Structure 1
Amino acid sequence: MDREKVRAHLYVDGAHRFESKLPAMFPVEGGAIEVAMSAYGIRRCHYVTRAGAEHQLTPDPKSAEGRRARLDGEHPALSRSIGVFSVLTLLVGVGLNLLQIAEPLSRIPPIAERAGIFESPIHLPLWLNIALGLAAVLASVERSLRLRYNPLLDRAGN
């Protein structure tokens, strides 16, 4: 995604009112609308009052985020299951990758001298590492569509 070309558009009663590069803040009656993107989709879309209260906005029903919200409303158990699977996929992927990355990093002479060499108990084949990476991307997209953002889980690409 070319972040320079992605822009936020504000429509009021179906009429285009404002356009801005991201992150964006649109002044509206009683406060502002704040919009920010992650590498995988919308990271934040909130109405913030002048007093500082924040309210997440409802996505357009025709958007990917709106369709994901409709799935959540119509099939909450399925939606929760998909959400739990997404978080577990991200945690497992990060954990396995950290274990595998720690070994070659620990072989760098200054690190090896200070901390010793770490032998990873896990050595996955390339195809499985690629599959875990793709699963992590899909899980991040799913979290983005639910307008859920956690800096520890969703930082990749930001």
Structure 2
Amino acid sequence: MLKEWRRRRALQRVRPGDGRELKRFRWWQQLTRALFYLRTADSTGRWTVYAVDVRHGQNQGSGNVDAELYVDGRQHAVCRLPAVFPVEGGTIEVAMSGFGLKRCHHVTADGHARQLTPDPASAEGRRAQLARRHPTLSRAIGGVSAVALTTALLLLLSQVAEKLTEPPEIAQHIGSFTAPVHLSVWTNIAVVLVTLTASTERALRLRYHHLLDGGTG
């Protein structure tokens, strides 16, 4: 019910595009722009190329990031994220976390979802190329990212538990908890940097879990 309500709200936010031409992805836009494509055929066999362009580096901090939908190279619609665009055979759903897109999928009328194809020049496209050319290495990198975020989450939870049970009035009722690991300032900084790197790597693959990535998006 809540998901369907959010979907209807997103559809209401869709605005008509101005027909401008889609600009080519530039190398300096690696961490500030995401560009994905969908090529699909209608009932007559005519092919249409959809493109979703998100300039998330411009105003991500404000929470007002737009997704632009292009049809055959021309801007067709604009919607503030999270966005849902009606297209041939279903919708395109777009959403982002704190480090990039967490969803850019074509969802058919029967609920089947498939991720759009990233532009080869984009950071997401380069990460996808690594996965195709070196699948073992790609899985290893993904595993390291998941382990890093899981470890950071456990460290955070233990520190929070220690702080919450520290006051005497709480400790006398439920007992106090002592975190098994206490990190130095520099170690904490290193953990933060590793967490940022792992979160960015997962965002390049559009991987999102509400526990591992929820704190960053």
Structure 1 counterpart of 2:142, one-letter code: G
1:52-131 correspondence to structure 2 within 5 Å: 52-131=111-190
Amino acid of the structure 2 residue aligned with 1:64: A
Per-residue deviation, residues 27-86 of structure 1 (Å, max 9, x unmatched): 111111000011111011111111221111111222211111111111112211110110
Quick one: which amino acid aligns to residue 91 of structure 1?
A: T
Percent identity between matched residues is 53
| Length, aligned pairs only | 158
Which structure 2 residue ranges, 5 or more long, are not aligned?
A: 1-59
Corresponding residue for residue 73 of structure 2: 14
Higher RCO (Cα < 8 Å, 6 or more apart): 1
Higher deviation after alignment, 67-76 or 113-122: 113-122
Cα distance in 2 for residues equivalent to 1:5 and 1:71: 31
Task: Work out the CA distance in 1 between the residues paired with 2:81 and 2:62.
Answer: 8
Give the alignment partner of residue 139 of structure 1, picking from 180, 198, 201: 198
Q: Which amino acid aligns with 1:78?
A: L
Amino acid across the alignment from 1:108: P
- How far did 1:138 drift? 1.0
After superposing the two structures, state which structure 1 stretch, 4-13 or 118-127, moved more: 4-13
Partners in 2 of 1:54 and 1:87 — Cα distance?
23
* Aligned residues: CA RMSD: 1.5
Unaligned runs of 5+ in 1: none
- Given that residues 102 and 118 in structure 1 are in contact (C-alpha distance below 8 angstroms), is that contact kept between their aligned partners in structure 2? yes
The two structures have a TM-score, normalised by structure 1, of 0.92
- Matched residue, 2:87: 28
- Give distance in 2, aligned partners of 1:116 and 1:81: 40
